[in-house]
Structure 1
Amino acid sequence: MKSRIVVYKPVPDDVLAYLREHAEVVEVDGTQHDPFVAALKDADGAIGSTVRITPAMLDGASRLKALSTISVGYDAFDVADLTRRRIVLTHTPDVLTESTADTVFALILATARRVVELADWVKAGQWTHSVGPAQFGVEVQRKTLGIVGLGRIGGAVARRAALGFSMKVLYTNRSPNPDAERQYGARRVELRALLEESDFVCLQMPLSDETRHMIGAPQFNAMKKSAILINAARGPVVDEAALIDALRSGTILAAGLDVFEQEPLAADSPLLTMRNVVALPHIGSATHETRHAMARCAAENLISALQGTLTRNIVNREALAR
């Protein structure tokens, strides 16, 4: 008898066909709470992303064995609760590394060279004379990049920085990254030293109780006035109100943001009126190629988890042991 799978976010046709080869598939809109919860009650597994799945939503889902998120982040789930229920959670940590690192570096270059601001300046017909100091940006070459969280994506950013732009790389991480130290000359320092020394502060840590609002007013005050903050990790790792104050007051120079505390970003957010902010709509991994690879990876994760053969991309391996 085939397993029953709930697909709660659209996936490419070929990925849907793959799932149907191995399981009975029920498609629902994950944003429609009641139909989604009802579908989970009879499901062995589910695949999707973005939608928060709370413990209460799983109370009647006695058959559920595995959840597969089409993302590297898993803050939409209560992992401890899933483990208690013996539900395996899988994610897609490898396939989006390079595209997300590209987005990070696009934000570095766009903020440093004021790309969005000056493109709008040209489109507004204000380019009537040669550019002068009022339009100058700052160099990226040979500057210091501080990376908070040197995992897969952080390491890919460090490679671009060190090998492509001759940047000095500092990092903070729970554990050393000897590969980055050897290949890119990265140096592990305490967060305070990283903030004080870096020209660009790049946030790459996951969202957790420990990292929520990890960067706030004290951290902005420790940064150089010429420093630029880059956040393509998770919005809530930054105290957004403190960031707005820091940008308004000149405590830091600029910010390149792909994530926000509330998404989509409210139309009346002060961040949208600031010339020293580049704001993107959470496009870190948003290329056709990468999103397809993520969906395929998530589908394979789910089928393997239901078949009992999954050995990688497991968030809560303890659930298997139980």
Structure 2
Amino acid sequence: MRVFLSRPLFNTTYLSARFAEKGITLTTTDSNDICSLQTLLEHAQDADALITHTEDAITAEVITALPERVKLIANYGIGFSNIDVDAATAKGIQVTNTPTEEAFHATAEATVALIVSIARQVPALNTERRNMKTDPAPSFQRPTAVSIRNKVTGVIGLGRIGSRVATMMHHGFNNKIVYFDLFQNSDMETALGAEKVALDTLCKTADFICVNMPLSADTHHLVSADMINAMQNHTVFINTARAELVDEEALIARVNRGELHGVGLDVYTDLVNDITAENVALTSHFANFEKEAYLAMTNLVAENVIGVLVDAVPATPVNSVTGEPND
């Protein structure tokens, strides 16, 4: 049995050893760059399973080109919007992801870290000092931070990550929590007094807005230009979910005009190259970039591969070729 990994992990040797115990051979590329379609399809010819990353576009066309021997596409990541799950299901290919508790915690902590960083003007202050030879002269006319305590945090998507963000902001900074979601979260309403509101209400009233919603056809550009323009001038806006959830052009135009306190983006497109505002942090899709989360994700992707190739039971399926869909 053979598995192709589209890009090396931080612990590829460990993953390879886990597979070897089960008679599975792991191959990967020598590059940390996103795997080209040509390379992916070449290696797929000899593979029983593929381990992909969220940056790999596994479209219906790619799935059609895969050989019949491929039984599994195991995504290394919480999300799986990069894979045409319907096309995979139609071809009898199992799809899995790695929704570990550690990854949820890591992304939530990164979201809160960005809120704190932007609220306290850390990116702007860092840029200012690095452009000078000595510390700036004290002046009360310089841009100031905004407090984090006793504010309103608006969570767009109060799921497994958003709920953790809400808990930290409520208990850590005494924030009132408002949220928008396609579903009611009664547990968070009971535990934190969270209030479910319309999205436009959230955008108009929250001091801190963070996007933690999964991407789907229903949520594409959910945070529209109208929603962005409804935000208060002191709003801190954070997106650690997917770039396509937000009208980036409208967001960038508004922050560049100085009409938002600042923005923290872990996910984005090349439009961010047009940002001129200083109080902006770009973290390059590294929200779950921590040793504990990556080890847990590596173990789970191994369990999914072994589960499908050896035991015929995936640990965390996202389609129903075998087992029930993962929520």
Q: Would you call these one fold, judging by a TM-score over 0.5? A: yes
C-alpha distance in 2 between matches for 1:321 and 1:41 = 28
- Compared with structure 1, are the counterparts of its residues 248 and 128 closer, same or farther at alpha carbon in structure 2 (3 Å cutoff)? closer
Instruction: List gaps (5 residues or longer) in structure 2.
Output: none
- Name the SS for the 1:52 alignment partner: coil
Name 1:300's counterpart in structure 2. 303
Counterpart code for 1:15: L
For 1:165-180, list aligned pairs within 5 A.
165-180=173-188
Q: Give the fraction of aligned pairs with identical amino acids, expressed as a percent.
A: 30
**Corresponding residue of 1:15:** 15
What is the distance in 2 between the residues matched to 1:289 and 1:217? 37
Tell me, yes or no, if structure 1 residue 35 matches structure 2 residue 39: yes
Give the corresponding residue for 1:66: 72
- How far residue 24 of structure 1 moved from its aligned partner, in angstroms, is 3.2
Aligned match for 2:196, one of 188, 197, 205: 188
Q: Specify the code of the residue in structure 2 equivalent to 1:292.
A: L
The whole-number CA distance in structure 2 between the counterparts of 1:202 and 1:102 is 12
Pick from 234, 244, 259: which aligns with 1:236? 244
- Look up the match of 2:207: 199
Superposed displacement of residue 251, structure 1: 3.9
Amino acid corresponding to residue 14 of structure 1 in structure 2:
Y
Q: Deviations over 1:198-250 (max 9, x none)?
A: 01111001222222222221011221122121111111211111111111234
AA aligned opposite 1:310: V
Deviations 1:134-172 (A, max 9, x none): 141101101100001111110110110011110001111
Give the Cα–Cα distance (whole angstroms) in 2 for the partners of residues 321 and 135 of structure 1: 52
The amino acid of 1:51's aligned partner reads D
CA offset digits 1:2-51 (Å, max 9, x no partner): x3222222131112110122243241336143232122133221113132
Query: How big is each residue's C-alpha offset from its partner over 1:230-275, in whole Å with a ceiling of 9 and x where there is no partner?
Result: 111111211111111111234433211111024xx77xx122x311
2:317 match? 314
Partner of 1:276: 279
Query: Distance between the aligned counterparts of 2:121 and 2:317, measured in 1?
Result: 40
1:1-322 mapped onto 2 (5 Å cutoff): 3-11=1-9, 12=11, 13-29=13-29, 31-49=35-53, 50-58=55-63, 59-94=65-100, 95-123=102-130, 124-125=132-133, 127-262=135-270, 269-271=273-275, 273-308=276-311, 310=313, 312-317=315-320, 320=323
Shift of the alpha carbon at 1:100?
0.9
Per-residue CA deviations over 1:259-300 (Å, capped at 9, x if unaligned) read: 1024xx77xx122x3113222222101112222221221111
Q: Secondary structure at the match of 1:46?
A: strand
User: TM-score, structure 2 length as denominator?
Assistant: 0.89
What displacement does 1:126 show?
Answer: 5.3
Letter in 2 for 1:99: A
**Distance of 1:5 and 1:257 partners within structure 2:** 33
Once the two structures are overlaid, the 10-residue window that deviates more, 244-253 or 91-100, is: 244-253
- Partners of 1:286 and 1:131 in 2: CA distance: 37
Q: Bigger shift: 95-104 or 4-13?
A: 4-13
